[in-house]
Amino acid sequence: DACVLQISAGAFELGGAVLEPHELLQAEDRRFDVYPGPRFGQHMDDKTIAWWDAPEQKEAWDRIVEAEKVPLEEALSRFSKFVTTWVGRRGKIWGLPPQFDLRILRGAYATAELPVPWHFSQEHDLRTLLWAASKAVPSTFRAPRTEGRGLIKHFALHDAARQAMLAQSAFRALKLSADQ
């Protein structure tokens, strides 16, 4: 029953060239800012409120507050369309970690009485991929630096872009290692 403030995603080819933030941030239709309706009973606990009140979250919070909001059902429906269009039934849904983000989304879909647009077998953990790349090719794999690229940490669309860059970079390192 966590309060969903934003939903965002970035479509990318795992084995493709590592995309830059400007390539991943082109489509604002990949970000859905949510106005939680009172009938959903979603809430933020005191620890979450304190976390958002921390100075390091200010830039993300300000962007979230300024954004035009849609009801949760609409945001989830639009996100479902995104998933159906870009992921389908064969693609992957990556999370950092999926046990947090995708669990909250599944709960939101249940609360809104909407079907989850992906199958559990499509859920993949970016942390595991990054760990595997760092262990398999420790001398060559370095996660790309995302600081100083205009990405706001904890702003959903920017987090999605950062995670896409990390996934592509880790997969590329593992593929190069396997090819050698």
Which amino acid makes up residue 86?
Answer: W
Token representation of residue 27:
């489509």
Q: What is the pLDDT of residue 151?
A: 87
Which amino acid makes up residue 99?
Answer: Q
> Could you tell me if 137 and 176 are in contact, meaning their C-beta atoms sit under 8 angstroms apart?
yes
Walk along the chain (180 residues) in steps of 10 and give the mean pLDDT of each run: 85 76 63 67 82 94 88 90 87 90 92 94 94 87 78 89 89 79
The rounded distance, in Å, linking the Cα atoms of 12 and 9 is 10
> Could you tell me if 166 and 126 are in contact, meaning their C-beta atoms sit under 8 angstroms apart?
yes
